[in-house]
Amino acid sequence: MTKHAGWWYGGVLALLVLTSLIALVAGTEWLGLSQVTWAVSHPASRAFVTIFSLRLPRILSSLICGGSLAVAGALFQAVFRNPIADPSILGISSAADFFKLGGAILLPWLPGRNWLMALVGGLIALTILTSGRALTDPYRLIIVGVALDATFVGLQQLLSSGAAAVSHSTFNGLTWSDTATLLGLGVLGLVVALILAPWANYLKLTDSALKNVGVPVNVLRWTLLLLGMYLAVSVTAVVGTVPFVGIVVPNVARRLVGHDYQTVLPFSMLAGAWLMLAADTLGRTVIVPSEISAATMMAVIGGPFVIILLQRGRGFHGMSTR
């Protein structure tokens, strides 16, 4: 933990509260704080409906999705020992998206269909990703991941061509039931991730060094990998693919609060939640009454970030041998 970690934690918490308040009052219709408090006691009013049925579920969903994606990214980076590994860039999310769409067409009667299908997709992508030599070679991992991602995006376009434009990766129109699903799945995964944070630290050592001290490397690796996959596909199941949160947030977190995953993971969770809420709120307020989806916002912010990270960073962890 760095000297300033406490300040950064305070800062991100303050930003979270502030942004949540702005998100509550801002939108197509701007409400003052007094109107918000008034609406609480008037459940029949239009303001009440706007706040409690539209904005609140959307705010909670963005927070939990941002937190989940950031933590999922950090876990993937720890396991793959690669600072740009992330479920969205490695094809896990697009596989989940593709299977979700396939499920909607083939198994419309299946209860919990979206999540189950997304999980199956995530598992299949993860199996392909880890079955070859990608696990031991950082360059191969990214190339295989990008190819996997392109394949599943293509398959998804193939499946959805002809269908009416599928609305994607947006927090617009989320219901309380969606929000409850996200909260249930997300909170469970995040709690487990925070408990297992020390494992991410152990994976900084080589496999043979870990075996020397009696640590079952593969148990650690697969637990964290499955956990990261679970967090990412849970978001995909409800919202769709949102890129780059998992890369941008943990990398900034490491700069701000240090290298220890016991600090990086909780900070990433908070910062990811904030970033997603900020992106979504900005997206739905800048060009009122239209809106930009959070996924698009993140692509615009995240793409350049990754380019800068790779062009100026000190290279893949797996490759540095100083």
Partner 1 sequence: MECQHVSYQYPRQTRGLNDLTGVFPPGQVTTIIGPNGAGKSTLLQLLARRLPAQAGQVVLNEQPLDQLTTKQLAQQVAMVTQHHQLYDELTVREVVATGRLPYHGLLQAVPANEVTPYLEMAGLTSLADELIQDLSGGQQQRAWLAAALAQEPAVLLLDEPTTYLDVHYQQQLMTQLRQLAAKGLTVIQVLHDINQAFRVSDWLWLLQDGQLVASGTPDDLRDAELLGRTFATSVEIVTVPHLGPYIVQVPD
Query: Residues interacting with partner 1, by CB under 8 A?
Result: 78, 81, 195-196, 198-199, 201-206, 208-209, 211-216, 219-220, 259-260, 317-318, 321-322
Nearest to 293, CA basis, from 310, 308, 306, 281: 281
Length of the chain: 322
Cβ distance to partner 1 smaller for residue 220 or 275: 220
Query: What's the rounded Cα separation, in Å, for the pair 29 and 40?
Result: 17
Q: How far is the CB of 200 from partner 1 (least distance, A)?
A: 9
Cβ distance to partner 1 smaller for residue 36 or 196: 196
Q: How far is the CB of 268 from partner 1 (least distance, A)?
A: 15
Chain centroid offset of residue 288 CA: 26
Query: What's the rounded Cα separation, in Å, for the pair 174 and 171?
Result: 6
Q: How far is the CB of 246 from partner 1 (least distance, A)?
A: 17
Cβ distance to partner 1 smaller for residue 214 or 289: 214
Q: Containing H/E element for 39?
A: helix 33-40
Q: How far is the CB of 137 from partner 1 (least distance, A)?
A: 13
Q: How far is the CB of 84 from partner 1 (least distance, A)?
A: 14
Helices (H), 81-175: 92-106, 113-131, 138-160
Cβ distance to partner 1 smaller for residue 112 or 198: 198
Answer yes or no: are the C-beta atoms of 309 and 83 closer than 8 Å: yes
Query: What's the rounded Cα separation, in Å, for the pair 33 and 37?
Result: 6
Query: What's the rounded Cα separation, in Å, for the pair 119 and 303?
Result: 26
Cβ distance to partner 1 smaller for residue 101 or 265: 265
Q: What is the DSSP code (8-state) at residue 213? A: T
Q: How far is the CB of 105 from partner 1 (least distance, A)?
A: 42
Cβ distance to partner 1 smaller for residue 90 or 282: 90
Cβ distance to partner 1 smaller for residue 117 or 210: 210
Answer yes or no: are the C-beta atoms of 204 and 47 closer than 8 Å: no
Cα separations in angstroms, 177 against 27, 44, 103, 238: 22, 20, 19, 10
- The pair of three-digit structure tokens given for residue 57, joined into one six-digit string: 């579920």
Amino acid at 205: L
